[in-house]
Structure 1
Amino acid sequence: MTQQLIAVDANALGQVLKRLDTLETLIRDVKLVAREEWVSIQEAARLLQCDPSTIRRKINSGELQAKGSGKSRRVRLD
């Protein structure tokens, strides 16, 4: 196998390495939090990136499990 040399701009490489360091720091500092088992309709819509009416429709069709009523209605996203 033949080796091939590639010219790289040292400045650009330095910027890439700096961004990698920043990403490593961000990843290291991330703290994962367990999601609640039951969430509000608004929170479910935010997590699923849809409108709350879509969540209500999925509850009515049986696609999502829900408990409670009115403002205290909670949805299970498992």
Structure 2
Amino acid sequence: MTQQLIAVDAGALSDLIDRLTKIETLLASAELSRREDWLSIPEAARILKCDPSTIRRKINSGELKASGSGKTRRVKLS
């Protein structure tokens, strides 16, 4: 692999570093859900040992939190 030397404006580089630092701070303070926390309706039904229609009913009643729609709908159990 060949290395190249690139000239960069010091002010622009400093601004970029400041922006990245702000993004890192925002991400560190954000509550992000892991992908594994959000399950498909069939996955949630298997874990709760019930029918997928029961999961849908619990979503509609507000007992379970859900995101998305149709086949992309995900359920949060915790």
TM-score by length of 2: 0.55
Cα deviation, 1:15-65, whole Å, max 9, x if unaligned, reads xxxxxxxxxxxxxxxxxxxx9110000000000000000000000000000
* Cα RMSD, aligned residues only: 1.3
Q: Which amino acid aligns with 1:62?
A: G
Structure with greater Cα Rg: 1
- Determine helix, strand or coil for the equivalent of 1:39: strand
Residue equivalent to 1:60: 60
- Determine helix, strand or coil for the equivalent of 2:75: strand
Q: Which amino acid aligns with 1:37?
A: D
Percent identity (aligned): 77
Tell me, which stretches of 5 or more residues in structure 2 are unaligned? 1-34
- Determine helix, strand or coil for the equivalent of 1:63: coil
TM-score by length of 1: 0.55
Tell me, which stretches of 5 or more residues in structure 1 are unaligned? 1-34
- Find the aligned partners of 1:54 and 1:72 in 2 and give their Cα distance: 18
